[in-house]
C-alpha cells in the first residue's frame, strides 16, 4: 500500500454511502463514484477538487479520452462529463443495461451489458 486516501464516501451501513468505483486521470487525480449521485475528483492527498452531481448513482466510471465517462443504468446510457461539468450522453444501450465500463490500451471504450 503506497498511501491511504479519504474518498469522502464513508463505508457505513447507516448512510449506505459506499465507494463503488474510481478512475485515475493522467495528471494523477482520482475520480470516485459511489452510492450517491455525486462524482468526486480528488488529488492524491484526498483534497476535494471538484464535485459533479449526476442523476444516477456513480457506480461504474472510467477516464476515456481524458474525460470522465460513466454508465447511467436508469437511462441505459453511457455518459461523460464535459470540461464545464455538463453531463452529455455519448450513446444509449437500448434494451441492454450497462453494468461496467473501462477503456483499453488500443483506445476503445468497453462496456459490459446485461
The domain that contains 96 carries what CATH number? 2.120.10.30
Average pLDDT over residues 5-22: 77
Res 19: pLDDT = 87
Q: Is residue 80 part of a domain?
A: yes
CB 62 within 8 A of CB 102: yes
pTM: 0.89
Res 12: pLDDT = 67
By percentage, how much of the chain surpasses pLDDT 90?
Answer: 70
Q: Is residue 46 part of a domain?
A: yes
Q: Is residue 98 part of a domain?
A: yes
* HSE toward the beta carbon, residue 113, CA cutoff 13 A: 11
Average pLDDT over residues 94-101: 94
Enclosing domain of residue 89: 19-113
Res 4: pLDDT = 82
> Which residues make beta-bridge pairs with 13?
none
Higher pLDDT, 13 or 40: 40
Q: Is residue 7 part of a domain?
A: no
Q: Is residue 73 part of a domain?
A: yes
- Count of structural domains, the chain: 1
Amino acid at each position: 500500500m503506497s498511501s491511504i486516501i479519504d474518498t469522502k464516501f464513508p463505508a457505513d451501513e447507516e448512510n449506505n454511502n459506499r465507494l463503488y468505483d474510481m478512475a485515475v486521470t493522467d495528471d494523477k487525480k482520482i475520480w470516485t463514484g459511489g452510492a450517491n449521485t455525486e462524482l468526486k475528483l480528488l488529488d492524491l492527498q484526498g483534497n476535494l477538487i471538484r464535485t459533479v452531481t449526476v442523476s444516477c448513482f456513480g457506480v461504474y466510471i472510467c477516464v476515456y479520452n481524458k474525460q470522465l465517462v460513466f454508465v447511467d443504468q436508469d437511462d441505459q446510457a453511457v455518459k461523460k462529463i464535459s470540461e464545464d461539468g455538463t453531463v452529455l450522453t455519448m450513446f444509449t444501450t437500448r434494451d441492454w443495461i450497462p453494468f461496467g465500463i473501462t477503456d483499453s490500451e488500443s483506445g476503445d471504450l468497453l462496456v459490459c451489458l446485461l
